[in-house]
Amino acid sequence: MPQKIGSASFFVLVFAFIILFHSHCGAWQGKVVGVQDSDLLLISHGSQTDRVKLYGIESPRKGQPFWQQSQVLASHLALQKIVEVTPLYVGSDGLENALVRIEGVKDYLNLQIITYGLAWVKPKECSAHICAEWRAMESLAQSKAIGLWIDPNPIPPWQWEKEQRHKIQERRQSQGKTSE
């Protein structure tokens, strides 16, 4: 009987090890060669270049307040730097969502952009254990009116995009009525 308990414990330990360290198994290194949005990077590794979305955050979209500042920040922090990419999943848009750490820097780039007040933690997506720390940093940036939080009610990108689609739809409907 003790033999069965020992082998069961062994398998539990192996399973726990796999779960705990799985996210680091697929990590790879590359060089940031482009910043499409401050939360979307072009990273070159080997003979390919991948588009990598920073996991758990959303930065202002082009045309939205603070878009340019977030672009400048991400470019300053990451462009032409060597990074470690820890892929977490591929999103419905086909983009690899990952944690990205600049070589020689302790914090993930994801967190750095939040700390500068130039990104939101995605409320429905960010569920990894590190998201609690990210939410705390987002709250701190908000309480100190850092970055986009200088605006008392900044509009998150997912809401801004929805409003933009609605405005376009209204414009098309009003153009259709005037041509009748």
In whole angstroms, how far apart are CA 59 and each of 23, 32, 54, 102, 155? 24, 18, 10, 18, 11
Query: Residue 24 pLDDT > 60, yes or no?
Result: no
Bridge partners of residue 3, in order along the sequence: none
Per-residue confidence (pLDDT) for residue 18, from 0 to 100: 38
pLDDT value of position 17? 39
Identify the band that residue 121 occupies on the pLDDT scale cut at 50, 70 and 90. very high
pLDDT above 80 for 10: no
Percent of the chain with pLDDT over 90: 75
Q: Which residue has the higher pLDDT, 21 or 89?
A: 89
Asked whether the beta carbons of 152 and 65 are under 8 A apart, the reply is no
In this prediction, residue 171 has a pLDDT band, given cuts at 50, 70 and 90, of: confident
Cα–Cα distance between 125 and 120 in angstroms, integer? 11
CATH code of the region 25-165: 2.40.50.90
